[in-house]
């Protein structure tokens, strides 16, 4: 009767690898070619695989995020939606998921099978996380920029398309003098790959459009509120506002409402994210949906491919955004 040692010798791998492959251990990371070679050797040697050997433990993944990602849903709906996508996919596929802020990295369970990095971390932090787990750990990044594109999968969205969809909506509603309000990123990509650069590019390409100003500050609703009030106090004039994300846009709408500046009659406001609270603002916010829930699901799907050895190369998935037209951007022409 053939043994695991015989199969290992025939396939050119270790006995341990043969054992894990034959019981379909999901944590085993080998190429599809190696896996097929092992099973072919088992068939050739007439090795009988017992069904109980196929039983394996539940997979476990860690999701590393920033400490403020889940402070409030109003300001972080982007990450709450992404988390929902991750957790739902994990529950449906019997995968344990543990969400950990970066400063708790050392508390990651030792039996973790794969890692998702969620958020715009700096080059230093991305490399630190990768080195902490080791290059053999299956890993997926969900962020605007990857500094290890060959070392881990990368899930992102098309920011250029986001800006163009929002600006097209403003232009088609008859707006031409646009104020940009955005949040400063302390980590992640520089301005060359930032929404502000794509806003400037759009203005240059459309002579009928004019930049009414560029405001940058902290992220969040309160920051959007403060920046808008400061701009209005200084006599700022525009007929359209593009906010780099929905929480900032919520603050913009609040400031305009307190000043009794009518939206969209006097000024239109567009955001980017597709955050669910935007449906309930007054007026409802026109925004660009980047499909955060689906990005979370795709992150787990890609991670499983790497964990199970179905793919040895890293890949990039860029989600195409969708405009969600609502009442904050409308033509006032009769």
- Please tell me whether residues 165 and 153 are part of one structural domain: no
- Domain assignment of residue 332, yes or no: no
- Please tell me whether residues 246 and 170 are part of one structural domain: yes
CATH of the domain at 82: 3.40.50.2300
- Please tell me whether residues 93 and 192 are part of one structural domain: no
- Please tell me whether residues 149 and 297 are part of one structural domain: yes
Query: Which of 14, 35, 54 is at the close of a domain?
Result: 54
Q: What is the pLDDT along the chain (334 residues), one digit of tens a residue?
A: 788 888 999 999 988 888 888 877 766 778 878 888 998 898 888 887 654 344 456 899 999 999 999 988 888 999 999 999 999 999 998 899 999 999 999 888 877 999 999 999 999 999 999 999 998 899 999 999 999 988 899 999 999 999 999 999 999 999 999 999 999 877 656 555 589 999 999 999 999 999 999 999 999 999 999 999 999 999 999 999 999 999 999 999 999 999 999 999 999 999 999 988 999 999 999 999 999 999 999 999 999 999 988 888 999 999 999 999 999 999 866 4
- Domain assignment of residue 165, yes or no: yes
CATH of the domain at 21: 1.10.260
Helix (H) or strand (E) holding 62: strand 59-65
Residues 6+ apart with CB under 8 A from 139: 114, 115, 116, 117, 129, 130, 133, 151, 152, 153, 303, 306
The model's pTM is 0.81
- Please tell me whether residues 35 and 111 are part of one structural domain: no
- Please tell me whether residues 166 and 283 are part of one structural domain: yes
- Domain assignment of residue 330, yes or no: no
Counting the structural domains of the chain, the total is 3
- Domain assignment of residue 268, yes or no: yes
What is the pLDDT at residue 22? 84
- Please tell me whether residues 145 and 235 are part of one structural domain: no
- Please tell me whether residues 270 and 148 are part of one structural domain: no
The domain in which residue 141 lies consists of 59-157+292-319
CA-to-CA dists, residue 145 to 138, 148, 225, 292, 302, angstroms: 18, 9, 28, 16, 17
| Cα separation, 48 vs 43, whole angstroms | 8
- Please tell me whether residues 119 and 241 are part of one structural domain: no
């Amino acid at each position: 009767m053939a043994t695991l040692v015989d199969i290992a010798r025939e396939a050119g791998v270790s006995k341990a690898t043969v054992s894990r492959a034959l019981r379909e251990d999901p944590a085993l990371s080998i190429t599809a070619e190696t896996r097929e070679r092992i099973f072919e050797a088992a068939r050739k040697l007439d090795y009988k695989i017992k069904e109980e050997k196929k039983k394996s433990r539940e997979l476990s993944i860690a999701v590393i995020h920033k400490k403020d990602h889940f402070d409030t849903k109003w300001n972080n709906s982007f990450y709450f939606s992404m988390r929902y996508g991750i957790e739902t996919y994990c529950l449906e596929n019997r995968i344990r998921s543990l969400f950990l802020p970066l400063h708790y990295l050392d508390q990651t369970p030792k039996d973790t099978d794969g890692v998702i990095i969620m958020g715009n971390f700096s080059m230093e932090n991305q490399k630190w996380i990768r080195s902490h787990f080791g290059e053999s750990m299956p890993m997926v990044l969900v962020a605007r920029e990857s500094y290890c594109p060959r070392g881990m999968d990368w899930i992102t969205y098309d920011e250029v398309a986001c800006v163009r969809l929002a600006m097209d909506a403003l232009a088609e509603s008859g707006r031409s003098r646009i104020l940009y309000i955005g949040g400063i990123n302390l980590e992640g990509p520089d301005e060359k790959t930032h929404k502000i650069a794509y806003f400037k590019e759009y203005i240059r390409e459309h002579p009928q459009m004019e930049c009414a100003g560029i405001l940058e500050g902290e992220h969040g609703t309160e920051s959007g509120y403060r920046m808008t009030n400061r701009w209005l106090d200084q006599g700022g004039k525009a007929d359209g506002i593009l906010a780099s994300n929905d929480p900032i846009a919520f603050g913009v709408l609040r400031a305009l409402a307190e000043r009794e500046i009518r939206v969209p009659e006097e000024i239109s406001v567009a955001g980017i994210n597709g955050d669910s609270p935007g449906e309930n603002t007054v007026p409802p916010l026109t925004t660009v949906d980047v499909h955060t829930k689906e990005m979370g699901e795709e992150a787990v799907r890609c991670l499983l491919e790497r964990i199970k050895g179905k793919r040895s190369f890293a890949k990039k998935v860029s989600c195409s955004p969708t405009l969600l037209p609502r009442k904050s951007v409308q033509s006032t022409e009769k």
